[in-house]
Amino acid sequence: MKIEMTFRRLPRACSSSKGGMRMHNGKRTPVLERVLHCLRSYCLLFIAAPSMVFAQTYYTVSGTGDGTSTTKTGSGTSGSPYSIASVRGALLDIENNSFSSSIINLPSGTITLGSDLAVAPNGGRTIQFIGNGGGTTISGNNLYHVFNIDYSATGGTYVTVTNLTLTHGHDANDAYGGGAILGGTALTTPLDSIALTNCTFTNNTSTYGFGGAAIGWYGGALRMTNCTISNNTTTISGNGADGGAVFFEGVGAVSITGCTFSNNSASSSTSTNGGALYISSTTCSITNTAFSSNSATSTGSQDANGGAYACVPTTATITRCSFLNNSVTNTSTGSGYGGAIYSAGSSTATVSYSRFSGNTAKTSGNIAHVLGGSFTANNNWWGINSGPGGSDLSSGSGATVTASTYLKLRLVPARSTISAGDTTLLTADILLLSSGGTTASSNLSGLPTFTSSFGSAVLGSLSSTSNFVNGIATAKYTSSGTAGTGSAQVTADNQTTTVSPTIAIVAAPVPTTNAATSITTTTATLNGTVNANNASTTVTFEYGLTTSYGSTVTAAQSPVTGTSNTSVSYALSGLTPNTAYHFRVDAASSAGSVNGLDQSLTTSAAAPTVTTSAATSIGSSSATLNGTVNANNSATTTRFVYDTVSGSYTDSISATPSSATGTSNTGISATISSLVPNKTYYFRAVGTNSGGYIRGSELSFATTASAPSATTNAASSITTTGATLNGTVNANNQSTKVTFNYGVTA
């Protein structure tokens, strides 16, 4: 046996004469003080307890009945869990065998109870309840607590509940509240702890205890994650009602993450605090949680406080939560404070990156009322760009309230200039800070989703709208096809904001290709007009030998703007003579790119370029004339002219080749004959095309000398002593001495 000394918390019945915040300016006696008062008649107890074996025990509940049988099969391991008929039987078996740590897997269906489920009634247990994929419901039958945990308040009890729906729980004439779950410890350590994940609490009631129709927890740790708590009601006649859904009071910590509290209510003929939550703990952290339509109502002369949350006293941190349409009312002469939040005593509350809208209070503090301590609420969305109004945040004497910087709604286009018929994404967010600048989007990660309302589209339409997720919503704006100034609006809560900057809708430019001018053999001016339709427009010309173009130049007037036709041009050079070119004008702006129609031009033909080259193969009666001709892309006939007189050229001869084309030099030649020996001749190469008749420069050559030719003719005038000798001589263009030879022999 191991001997333990435990400072044991007294049964909850010890605090049956409950106190509470009964007046707006009154004081509450916490449970701890009531228990200490009872300790005057108690002493410290030495409790002998057997040492516990901390092996994990597994149960699988086979049915939805509520029997007490502890008959089971299996070995209780994860691979072979105990199979048992009911969850009640499993809990009894745990106690009978003093199993320290157990996991109970529950079936789908509804378990309707005939009495409270006593969970670790003597403390000192770790128990997990796991529903079947969220399809497991346990009903208190409107008569009983669903779970009554560590009723003796011994401590050291750790309960985990996952994937369960707890409904129709009721506190049934006891003095503690907690319609669905009752537990917690006020004095002993270790304190009790409960963790709730993916659970639903609905239609639970508290009519006899302190409050907390869903949960009543008296110290220790309470952790709620991704739970839905709705339509739970605390209605107490003749005494105070605290926490329409959850009541926590005592030393310990509360953590609530990703939960939803809706339509929970607390009402009393006296003081009422916290339509959804009443938390009086050491610390309380609430994150990514939504509170909507919760209410605290007093029907008497005392106050109602905190439509959603009453914080008394606690160090509370509230981050990325939403508080919508929560209310505090008093149907009689009493007051109502803090439509969403009520903070009293020495509480230190910090609220950031949260959303408030539609919360109301009878007297003051539609959003929050701070009776004492400090309340810091910066970087919140108050449902309007002007921040909280004068009646939204109120405080009592000595309380400190800080709410200097807040979030504002804005609507921004992804593109501020679009073409007619084009689209742009509009982004609405609440990231704009009232102090200037913006906050990081990550600061709103997990903020509960809320509704956006996009509308009032000008020169366009809206589609693909989304709600605000993490504080950001989007819509697609499509322009109607008309140029002008487009606009749209978004509404979030009580704020309507117009897109800024507005959207400039521009029509695509209209280019027109005009005829080319100033056409020469190698140059031309391309022309066109462009209507920019009021958008800065870049203008270019494409040109080339085919309609594939291939070359692009920028118009001299580019860029152009305005709403009328602007003449544009570009002077081309370096073109090929006598060549057809295609061209068009192109215009490009933010509204799109448009090509003008094709036009063509043909450069003028150029006269050939002719060069006379030196003659070759020169003989006494013949020579070869040479030259080159560049046809300059026009069909060109070729020949040579020549004469013995410079500049005369009475003779001509066709060259070989007789014609030339293209744009490169073509060699030409011609052989002339029947020339006079030893004679100077002058010649030129000649080219003729549609561009003109061109002669190359004059060159000359001299034929070579040739021996004279002589013919002896018959003698004449013959006498006895005399005769005339005759003959002919061709001097071949040289001075020639002529003689006769004669004698009696040959």
- What predicted TM-score, i.e. pTM, was given to this entire model? 0.72
Q: Which of 586, 602, 618 is the last residue of a domain?
A: 602
- Residue 543 in any domain: the answer is yes
Q: Mean pLDDT for each 10-residue chunk of the chain (746 residues)?
A: 27 36 33 34 29 74 97 97 98 97 98 97 96 94 96 94 98 86 85 97 92 95 98 91 95 96 96 96 95 96 95 92 97 93 92 97 96 94 94 92 96 91 94 96 96 96 96 96 91 96 89 97 97 92 97 97 95 95 95 93 94 96 96 95 94 95 95 94 96 94 88 90 88 82 85
How many CA atoms lie within 13 Å of 742's alpha carbon, on the beta-carbon side? 11
Label residues 118-138 b or e (16+ Cβ within 10 Å = b): bbbbbbbbbbbbbbeeeebbb
| Residues 613 and 567 placed together within one structural domain of the fold | no
CA distance 462 to 473: 13
| Residues 532 and 580 placed together within one structural domain of the fold | yes
| Residues 613 and 598 placed together within one structural domain of the fold | no
Q: Which of 474, 499, 524 is the last residue of a domain?
A: 499
Compute the C-alpha angle 360/364/451, nearest 5°. 25
| Residues 698 and 715 placed together within one structural domain of the fold | no
Closest to 335 measured CA to CA, from 294, 372, 363: 363
- Residue 215 in any domain: the answer is no
| Residues 591 and 648 placed together within one structural domain of the fold | no
| Residues 413 and 444 placed together within one structural domain of the fold | yes
**CB within 8 A of 412, min separation 6: which ones?**
426, 427, 428, 429, 499, 500
- Residue 589 in any domain: the answer is yes
- Residue 669 in any domain: the answer is yes
CA distance 529 to 513: 7
pLDDT in tens, 328-374: 999 889 999 999 999 998 889 999 999 999 999 999 999 999 998 99
* pLDDT the model gives residue 39: 34
Q: Which of 538, 573, 602 is the last residue of a domain?
A: 602
Side by side, which strands form the sheet with 290-292? 109-112, 136-139, 164-167, 200-202, 228-230, 260-262, 290-292, 322-324, 355-357
> CB count, 10 Å around CB of 31?
26
CATH number of the domain enclosing 524: 2.60.40.10
pLDDT in tens, 383-399: 999 999 889 999 998 89
Structure tokens at 539: 């203008």
The total of structural domains in the chain comes to: 4
| Residues 531 and 578 placed together within one structural domain of the fold | yes
- Residue 478 in any domain: the answer is yes
Cis peptide leading into 388, omega within 30 of 0?
no
- Residue 6 in any domain: the answer is no
- Residue 69 in any domain: the answer is no
* pLDDT the model gives residue 25: 32
- Domain with 513 in it: 507-602
Handedness of CA 174, 177, 183, 186 (dihedral sign): negative
| Residues 561 and 637 placed together within one structural domain of the fold | no
CA distance 97 to 90: 11
User: Is the separation of the CB atoms in 510 and 495 below 8 Å?
Assistant: no
